[in-house]
Amino acid sequence: MTVMVLETEATSDLALAGRAREGDREAFGRLVERHYDFIHRVAWRWAGNRADAEDIAQEVCVRLGKAIRSYRGGSAFTTWLYAMTLNAARDLKRKSARESAKMEAFGIHALVSGGEAHEPLADDPVEELWAAVRTLPDKQREAVLLVYGEGLSHADAADVMGSAEATVSWHVHEAKKRLKRMIASAGEV
């Protein structure tokens, strides 16, 4: 009897997804209502906190509106939904990391340009590293700031700097070599 119920639910998901794909808003609403707790539970387990889990679940529901057109029933709806939820969770993590890097870079930029920023701690290794970055030649410093401070890809940094992507990659590589030497020599003192 339990097998029959599971088959009915799976068939029902497939039928609802088919109707939703054709523009049936009620069918789409029923799918979201039926699986919202599942989405939220997966997001909660991944993120570990309520606010992020809610953000992820909402993002999945928004994405589902467009993505439902691509669901063909090759796998269980929940399998497909699970993958979509994990992708949204990973995207939120990347976005949070970029925002943190931007906030840190803003503080460093303010320090470099003489603007107001919180005074760094004397033994802050991140500030020590950025202080070393500020001593690099201009192009290397810009490449490092754009790639690591702002989270841009090498291609996007190249657009900003008006150079080739390979040139940005070279500047970053050279900056890493210089920084490694600076850190090694600072450790000897």
Residue 164: what pLDDT?
94
Q: Which residues contact 179 (CB under 8 A, 6 or more apart)?
A: 129, 132, 133, 136
Residue 149 and residue 83 share a domain:
no
Residue 133: what pLDDT?
81
Q: Which residues contact 158 (CB under 8 A, 6 or more apart)?
A: 164, 165, 167, 168
Residue 36: what pLDDT?
95
Domain total in the chain: 2
CA distance 9 to 6: 5
**φ and ψ at 74, to 5 degrees?**
-65, -25
Residue 137 and residue 89 share a domain:
no
- DSSP per-residue codes, 87-131: HHHHHHHHHHHHHHHHHHHHHHHHHHHT---PPPPTT-HHHHHHH
CA distance 78 to 173: 44
CA distance 150 to 156: 11
**If the chain, 189 residues long, is cut into consecutive pieces of 10 residues, what is the mean pLDDT of each piece?**
48 87 93 93 82 93 92 81 86 82 64 48 69 83 78 81 90 90 75
Residue 31: what pLDDT?
93
Q: Report the amino acid identity of residue 81.
A: L
CA distance 9 to 15: 10
Determine, yes or no, domain membership for 102.
no
pTM of the complete model: 0.50
What is the DSSP code (8-state) at residue 182?
A: H
Residue 132 and residue 91 share a domain:
no
CATH of the domain at 58: 1.10.1740.10
Residue 69 and residue 9 share a domain:
yes
Determine, yes or no, domain membership for 54.
yes
